[in-house]
Amino acid sequence: MAAIPPLCDFGWKPSDARLIGVDGETRSILDQAGENGLVVAFICNHCPYVKAVIDRIVRDADALADLGVGFVAISSNDVEAYPEDSFANMKLFAAAHGFGFPYLFDEDQSVARTWGAVCTPDFFGFNGAMELQYRGRLDASRKQSGQEDLRRDLYEAMRQVTETGKGPEEQIASMGCAIKWRETA
C-alpha cells in the first residue's frame, strides 16, 4: 500500500543516532552533513518505488555532493517479515547500484520512529544549520521510473537551500511503500 509523508515542517531539527553501515562502520547520521546541508533518505531494497528511482537517487546524491550537501540512506524495515531488506541484502543492493554514500541499518526502527519517517523513499533535506527545508519527492516518478527529462525536485530544492538557506515553499510529497513496522507487544 502506498504511503505519503506529511509536508515539510520548516526548521525542524533532527536528533542524531549512530547506526551500522553496509561498509561495517558505525556512523553518526548528522556527521554525514556537508558544509551546505544534508539529505537523509529512508529507503529499502524491496520497494518498487525505490527500485524505480534508485539510479536517480545515486545520481542526485553525487550531484549534491558537488554542492556541499551530504547524503545518507537509512533502511528501517522489519527484516524478519521482509528478508529482502536484511543487512546482508543491503550490502548487495548498495554494491549493485554503486552507492557513493553511507547506507545505514536502523535495526530497532528507533530512528524512523523518532524522525516520523513514513514511506520508502522518504527524503529529509536540511540546510547547513541542520534545519529541515525539504520533505518532498525525488521527481515525478512513482512505481515506474519517469522520463529522463523529469524535473529533479529534490536536487533543485537542495540547490535552492545551498543558495538561500531556505527550501521551496511549495513541495510535492514523496510517495512510496509504507515502512514495514515490527509488531510491538
| pLDDT tens-place string over residues 42-91 | 999 999 999 999 999 999 999 999 999 999 999 999 999 999 999 999 99
Helix/strand/coil for 59: helix
**Cα-based angle 97, 102, 104 (whole degrees, multiple of 5):** 100
Residues pairing with 42 in the sheet? 74, 122
Domains of the chain, by residue range, sit at 2-178
pTM: predicted TM-score of the whole model, two decimal places: 0.95
Residue reference for cell 543516532 = 17
Q: What is the pLDDT of residue 129?
A: 97
Q: What is the pLDDT of residue 140?
A: 85
Q: What is the pLDDT of residue 108?
A: 97
- Tens-digit pLDDT profile for residues 88-110: 999 999 999 999 999 999 999 99
- Tens-digit pLDDT profile for residues 101-148: 999 999 999 999 999 999 999 999 999 999 999 999 999 887 767 677
Q: Which stretches of 30-126 are assigned E, i.e. beta strand?
A: 37-42, 69-75, 103-105, 119-120, 122-126
Q: What is the pLDDT of residue 1?
A: 58
Q: What is the pLDDT of residue 185?
A: 41
Nearest to 69 by CA among 168, 172, 160: 160
- What CATH number should be reported for the domain whose range is 2-178? 3.40.30.10
What are the phi and psi torsion angles at 70 (to 5°)? -75, 165
